[in-house]
A and B are shown apart, each in its own frame.
Chain A
Amino acid sequence: MAKSQTELRPLGKSVGRKEDPRFIRGMGRYIDDIVLPGMLYMSLVRSPYAHARIKHVDPSAALEAPGVKLVITGEDLAAMDLAWMPTMAGDKQMVLATGKVLYQYQEVAAVIAESREQAEDAAQLVDVEYEPLPAVVDPIQSLDPDAPVLREDREKKSNHIFHWEAGDKEATEELFRNAPVVVKQNVRFPRVHPSPLEPCGCVADYQSSTGKLTWYVTSQAPHAHRTVLSMVSGLPEHQIRVISPDVGGGFGNKVPVYPGYVCAIVASLKLGRPVKWIESRTENISSTGFARDYHMTAEIAAEEDGRVLALRVKTIADHGAFDAAADPSKFPAGLFSIVTGSYDFKESFVEVDGAYTNKAPGGIAYRCSFRVTEAAYLIERVMDVLARRVGVDPAELRKRDFIRKEQFPYQSPTGWTYDSGDYEKTLDLALEKIGYEELRKEQAEKRARGELMGIGISTFTEVVGAGPSHTFDIMGIKMFDSAQIRLHPTGKVLARLGVRHQGQGHETTFAQIIAEELGLSTEDVLIEEGDTDTAPYGLGTYASRSTPTAGGAAALCGRRIRDKAKKIASHLLEAGEDDVVWDGVSFSAKGLPDKSVTMKDIAFAAYTNVPEGMEPGLEATYYYDPPNLTFPHGAYIAVVDIDKGTGAVKVRRFLAVDDCGNVINPMIVDGQVHGGLTEGFAIAFMQDIPFDEDGNCLAPNWMDYLVPTALDTPHWETDRTVTPSPHHPIGAKGVGESPNVGSPAAFVNAVVDALAPLGVEHIDMPIFPWKVWEVLREHGVNK
């Protein structure tokens, strides 16, 4: 049950959310709720082929259809030098296809009409003639020297995008040469999609009288979008206002700029009227940023008792037709080199090669800090393979190999400096709480009866909060974030941040941070995000970065206010500044606790009674460049039962013990964990976007790309340990993504554990019932 918003010292309390009253009334204002006078609607024409030459595009019939105002083709955009746009990964992407299409559902033309229906009707009338070409679907075949070159625009005449590596190759090889035990496992992380409940969309509103473009867009990173838009379009940046209204979920899907956005803006510029484009679910899944699709091979070199020595990883990354990965610019494979995880490897060498295929572009970070999910899944999966090989219980093996708490700050072999952690404590709590020993006993009894029960552990480490500007940037823009706090004369606060929440509860948690710093209550603080004309610049909300970056900015900005407040307090209390003390809710003079002034008194004085020579007012802005990333960790345990008849897996229990450092709002943290576990569960058991050999997308909507309901979803149990981040201003680390990063391995490890007596070492996600049944059949269980 939520606590009151009027409590003082709210940090760490389950304060009820400030954003909820509008949402529970159906009064949220999402992108499709925005209606402007004279607004037109846009619909896109998409390619039915995965790979085809475009012979011609004839818009004439569409132009004659009722209500149609404009049809834009790739050639039209080419004439404006807008047929291509840059991607965040340093590649470029077609806005509307010219020459050829490279994936099914690729954008070919845009139709703008007076109504949605008219736009959609007319889109059917755009005549496009295609000459189909053979499709390249498999990324491994795509890297074959004989494979047809998909990207004719590139100088490099192959489908190879990049090679990236981390760690010391020679030192790693050396350890492998002499290792008593080596295990190797191929692991695929399927192609999945964030699928927020609200699809993408925008309203572009260009006013020719003022030259100003207001662009409403469901965006996780409005400031970055403004800058990119200015760079691409040539519009002056101060003449672009990006407003990200209430966002109906993002999970990484709303970080990139999509072709439909550019078309809507071009249409508004051309027509001088607002243009709305709202994509359908099918368009969302089939064309916007997918995630993962990593084909990984991991090898661990270890001692005979399971103590790890070295890790070697090779990966082929399928990016689709354009590398539209949402990674920091210097990291084409994101932070994948965190793959040594929670374990004290002496050396590691990690390689990733990117490949083009005839699929939608992407490689975005779906509820994940840039490829950390792939890394965590891989190492947690392969540690279990090692445990099985050396005959050590997977919990015990992990304890043997954990980085110990006294090793922090820990330097990883691929170059990361882990800030803090106590892995053993977290795992011990999880083992005790779930009753690990009893479960193993129960499992032994069941095995004796031929029943299949499994217990899976994942003790992952994340790396979040990009990040320090010396390392992280997106297209050159450093990945700091910001907060601006204004105290009004009555002591009420308006605070704006450079991030943009999508359900994470910033209107509450950031109000808690600021209220805590200022001695106020959550109710006193109004948080605003998402309007680039008012909020300070920031890189947005994804990669669990809001609390590590903007949360830090909010705390330090509050302290900056408090520094000035202390001076005013000294004036009001008629005491020397050095004698003024802050007790968390008020200032008083040393030794005179009865006489005190609160922040409300000070705010009033800041506008009515400032000391002579002091600038009036009480506001501050803080741009926080974190000194390091944060490294949340957790111990997750899944318990599953397998139906031998159908292969169906039932998750009987799932316990997540997270350590995200200091907690701002436990209720919200638990909610984040519940949500992330559900997405991890879906990835483990039901999600993939398959293609046929012609490149046709076989799961382009929610009939076949499966999202779990309340009936599918297990009941989640949560707990936590607290190891504060030593460098974060309030010791917090970020939590939104841990459950999605850490849970897939726990589920898969549990299923493999259940099947282990048969000699099974691995099963790829998604674990549909038929896959388990095939394994059982192979091993003669279900004849």
Chain B
Amino acid sequence: MKIQLRINGRTKESDVEPRKLLAYYLREDLGLTGTHIGCDTTNCGACTVLLDGKAVKSCTVLAVQADGCDVMTVEGLEGEDGLHPLQTAFWEEHGLQCGYCTPGVLMSGYALLQSNPQPSEAEIRSGISGNVCRCTGYVNIVKAIRSASAKLAGAADDTPSESAKEVAASGKKSD
């Protein structure tokens, strides 16, 4: 089936089998391998993307269902100015270890901050409860999302830390 959709701001047209899951379409047809697969039963959230602005599990949506939709993946977080503050915060606060859940958690965190820019710890924990992390115990993920929230609100310390500067310096897009 022919589908047309916008992925990270760019229009893509593809011909896909109806049974192809959105996650596999992103990974295999488009080479966007930041979206990961961690389970068969819609439990882990490693495949989280934004579908028309809503965070969903892309392993439980057919690619044909995304026809005409706007999809944002982890690869779409980084802007012309470098890393998104949420990405920087995950780096600074050690919000990741093996990195496999990270893209999904970032997308859930991004969606959460879109709808609730100043979430409490409880709201963050609830907001990312569709994403399983086996490494971090969530403490630093929560910290990172709070830090990103503060950054985005401009409430962060005006003088960026050394590591934040490094992040900014290395955060330029290479393409």
Contacts and interface: CB of A to CB of B under 8 A. Distances in A.
A197 B38 contact: yes
B19 interface: yes
Interface stretch (A18-26, A209-217, A385-393): A18-26
Interface in A24-39: 24-30, 32-33, 35
Contacts of B43: 701-703, 707
Nearest to B87: A24
B134 A702 contact: no
Nearest to B139: A674
A26 B134 contact: no
Interface in B137-175: 137-142, 161-163, 166-167, 170
Interface in B75-112: 75, 77-78, 83, 87, 90-94, 96-103, 106
A418 to B, nearest CB: 28
Contacts of B32: 26
A702 B137 contact: no
A675 B163 contact: no
B83 A2 contact: no
Contacts of B132: 197, 702, 707, 709
A502 B98 contact: yes
A217 to B, nearest CB: 16
Contacts of A116: 24
Contacts of B130: 709
Nearest to B84: A24
A713 interface: yes
Contacts of A2: 91-94, 161, 163
B139 A16 contact: no
Given A281-B38, A716-B137, A33 B33 contact: yes
Given A20-B90, A197-B101, A701-B41, A249 B163 contact: no
Interface residues of B, number: 64
A24 B142 CA distance: 15
A24 B83 contact: yes
Given A197-B38, A677-B137, A710 B106 contact: no
A111 B40 CA distance: 20
Contacts of A715: 121, 139
A281 to B, nearest CB: 4
B11 interface: no
A359 interface: no
A769 to B, nearest CB: 19
A87 interface: no
B113 interface: no
B100 A711 contact: no
State the majority secondary structure of interface residues on B: loop
Contact of B96 (A3, A23, A199, A676): A23
A684 to B, nearest CB: 14
Contact of A675 (B40, B134, B161): B134
A619 interface: no
B36 interface: yes
A350 interface: no
A281 B74 contact: no
Nearest to B122: A711
Contacts of B27: 32-33
Contacts of A673: 137
A281 B47 CA distance: 14
B44 interface: yes
B97 A16 contact: no
Contacts of B90: 20, 24
Contacts of A711: 125-126, 129
B133 A197 contact: yes
B124 A247 contact: no
A17 interface: yes
A710 B124 contact: yes
A675 B92 contact: no
B99 A246 contact: yes
B37 interface: yes
A687 to B, nearest CB: 12
Contact of B142 (A29, A504, A675, A710): A710
A131 to B, nearest CB: 29
Given A6-B162, A24-B87, A248 B98 contact: yes
A523 B128 CA distance: 32
A713 B126 CA distance: 11
A713 B138 CA distance: 8
Contacts of B138: 674, 678, 709-710, 713
B139 A503 contact: no
B41 A671 contact: no
B46 A197 contact: yes
A283 to B, nearest CB: 9
Interface in B1-60: 17, 19, 24, 27-28, 32-41, 43-44, 46
B98 A197 contact: yes
Interface in A661-683: 667-668, 670-671, 673-679
Contacts of B98: 196-198, 246-249, 502-503
Give the most central of A199, A249, A251: most B CB within 10 Å: A249
B33 A26 contact: yes
A519 interface: no
Interface in A717-742: none
Contacts of A199: 38
A377 to B, nearest CB: 19
B120 interface: no
A417 interface: no
Contacts of B24: 116
B40 A701 contact: yes
A16 B41 contact: no
Nearest to B132: A707
A195 interface: yes
A197 B92 CA distance: 23
B100 A248 contact: yes
B40 A24 contact: no
B21 to A, nearest CB: 10
Given A248-B100, A709-B129, A667 B134 contact: no
Contacts of B19: 117
Nearest to A21: B170
B99 A28 contact: yes
A25 B78 contact: yes
B114 interface: no
A701 B44 CA distance: 11
B99 A710 contact: no
A5 interface: yes
Nearest to A668: B94
B1 to A, nearest CB: 15
Nearest to A717: B139
Interface string A110-128: 0000001100000000000
Given A5-B163, A26-B103, A32-B37, A674 B137 contact: yes
Contacts of B97: 249, 503-505, 671, 675
A702 B92 contact: no
Nearest to A523: B166
A19 B166 contact: no
A4 interface: yes
A649 to B, nearest CB: 18
A502 B103 CA distance: 16
Contacts of B137: 671, 673-678, 713, 716
A233 interface: no
A329 interface: no
Interface of A: 1-6, 16-17, 19-30, 32-33, 35, 116-117, 195-199, 246-249, 251, 280-282, 502-505, 667-668, 670-671, 673-679, 701-703, 707, 709-711, 713, 715-716
28 contacts: A3-B163, A21-B91, A25-B75, A25-B87, A26-B34, A30-B36, A32-B36, A117-B19, A196-B100, A197-B133, A197-B135, A248-B99, A280-B40, A281-B39, A281-B44, A282-B41, A674-B139, A675-B135, A678-B136, A679-B134, A702-B132, A703-B41, A703-B43, A709-B131, A710-B128, A710-B129, A713-B125, A716-B139
Of all A-B residue pairs in the complex, the 9 with the closest CB atoms, nearest first, are A26-B34, A23-B99, A248-B100, A503-B98, A674-B137, A503-B97, A26-B74, A4-B162, A678-B137
